[in-house]
Amino acid sequence: MKDTYRFQHKHILDIEQFSAADISYILDTATSFKEISTRPIKKVPTLRGKTIINFFFEPSTRTRLSFEIAAKRMSADTFNIAASTSSAKKGETLIDTALNLEAMNPDIIIIRHSSSGAAALLTRHVNAAIINAGDGTHEHPSQGLLDMMTVREHKGEIEGLKVAIIGDIAHSRVAHSDIIGFTKMGAEVRVAGPATFMPLYLDSLGARVCSSVEEAVTDADVVMALRIQKERQDDPLIPSLREYAQFYGINRSLLQHARPDVLIMHPGPINRGVEMNPDVADGKGSVILEQVTNGVAVRMALLYLVMGAEGSNVE
Ligand code: CP
């Protein structure tokens, strides 16, 4: 495939935009970059002279830092701007802010925003490549890719796997990217959670909606728990966290239903004892910190690919 395949995406807005071939190519590229982060000198000249702006309107630990680390490991110049310390606080609109960033000639703008579609909106106003680092409840494509990379590393291939995603599906952009991505790659995706967290469109994304967590995790190769996205809910949609933990929290007893070699995943941040018990998060089969490690490699790959660096040499 590599002889004829060309990555043809200027912007990374969602997993929906990718074919299975695109996803495989991104994961292959990320895999080839992963080793750079283990070297004594963790730097290659590939993106030297490129300017990358991290523009985050919502809190982030993993995504913001790993995009910055990824850019620096590729020798790009990186700049961070947070909504809380930007002129957005003084009433400047998103488009005006983007036009002002554009006036400084960045090559890539990475944006996280509470509004679904914010990243796509920027593509209509600026020339820089736009990477969506999470937009509202829509998608979080780099998280979906790092999740697929982690599963592929452990299982060899994604096709044919049973992936159970548990929790707040309705408000989770990670869930949307994972459902779309794993389904495109040939996995069976099952979802379960409180009815108030289960949107009606899940069937159309290709997910199997299960009536219980036990049903979702039975014979599962992967079990992923999601954080309850309280910041996207005006009113509480569950009676209490204690009840949620009892009926939907991932614990060892529940995992008896899954395959013995089940992978345990969580995009982070974890609310320990709510969506997942600590002995599960830290125990056998957990790949939660490997997801974070792979996040750097996936983001290196995305920066490289949107810069059209096909044919460049990584030294
Ligand atoms: N998984 C994820 O998006 O984590 P952060 O919110 O810390 O970036």
State pLDDT tens for residues 124-139. Answer: 999 999 999 999 999 9
Banded model confidence at residue 197, pLDDT cuts 50, 70, 90? confident
Q: Is pLDDT at 314 greater than 90 in this prediction?
A: no
Domain presence at residue 311: no
Asked if 225 and 238 sit in the same domain, the reply is yes
Regarding whether 163 and 130 lie in a shared domain, the answer is no
- 34-66: per-residue pLDDT in tens? 999 999 999 999 999 999 999 999 999 999 999
Q: How many angstroms separate the CA atoms of 275 and 244, rounded?
A: 8
- What's at 46, amino acid-wise? T
Residue 4 lies in a domain: no
- Domain shared by 197 and 96, yes or no: no
Q: Is residue 1 part of a domain?
A: no
Can you give the pLDDT at residue 312?
47
Q: Tell me: do 153 and 233 sit in the same domain.
A: yes
Whether 3 maps to a domain, the answer reads no
Residues 32, 42: one domain? yes
> Catalytic site residue 73?
no
Whether residue 313 is predicted with pLDDT greater than 50 in this model: the reply is no
Computed over every residue of the chain, the mean pLDDT equals 94
Same domain as 153, residue 132: no
Q: Which domain holds residue 239?
A: 141-292
Average pLDDT, integer, range 248-266: 97
CB atoms closer than 10 angstroms to residue 236:
11
Give domain status of residue 50, yes or no: yes
Model confidence at 2, in pLDDT bands (50, 70, 90)? Answer: low
Does 1 score more than 60 pLDDT? no
Q: Which residue has the higher pLDDT, 153 or 238?
A: 153
User: Would the pLDDT of 205 be above 90?
Assistant: yes
Buried b (16+ CB within 10 A) or exposed e, 16-44: eebeeebbbbbbbbbbebbebeeeeeeeb
Q: What is the mean pLDDT of residues 102-119?
A: 97
Q: Report the separation in Å between the CA atom of 60 and the middle of ligand 1, taken as the mean of its atom positions.
A: 5
Report CA-CA distances (Å) from 133 to 1, 2, 261.
Answer: 28, 27, 31
User: 113 and 61: one domain?
Assistant: yes
Q: Which of 9, 10, 34, 62 is catalytic?
A: 62
What angle do the packed helices 173-184 and 141-155 form, to 10 degrees? 50
2 is an active site residue: no
Ligand 1 atom nearest the C-alpha of 112 is: 8
Task: Kindly state whether residues 160 and 68 are assigned to the same domain.
Answer: no
pLDDT in tens, 58-101: 999 999 999 999 999 999 999 999 988 899 899 999 999 999 99
Q: What mean pLDDT do residues 175-196 have?
A: 96
* Token couple for 111: 């944006």
Q: Are residues 262 and 149 in the same domain?
A: yes
> Residue with the nearest Cα to atom 6 of ligand 1?
60
Q: How much is the pTM?
A: 0.95
Residue 298 or residue 233, greater confidence = 298
* pLDDT for 311 beyond 80: no
Residue of 29, 63, 97, 150 marked active site: 63
- CATH code assigned at 198: 3.40.50.1370
Query: Does residue 164 sit in the same domain as residue 109?
Result: no
CA distances from 242 to 28, 232, 246, 250, 275 (A): 41, 20, 6, 13, 10
53 in any annotated domain: yes
pLDDT, residue 231, reads 79
206-225 pLDDT, tens digit per residue, is: 999 999 999 999 999 999 99
Give the per-residue pLDDT at 3. 66
Is the torsion defined by CA of 138, 142, 143, 147 positive or negative? positive
Residue 313 belongs to some domain of the structure: no
Q: Does the pLDDT value for residue 149 go beyond 50?
A: yes
The preferred substitution site among 54, 57, 63 for testing ligand 1, maximizing ligand atoms within 8 Å of CB, is: 63
Helix or strand (DSSP H, E) at 135:
strand 129-135
From 54, 55, 62, 288, give the residue whose CB has the most ligand 1 atoms within 8 Å, as the site to mutate. Answer: 62
Does one domain contain both 27 and 104?
Answer: yes
117 is a domain residue: yes
Q: How many domains are contained in the chain?
A: 2
Same domain, 155 and 260: yes
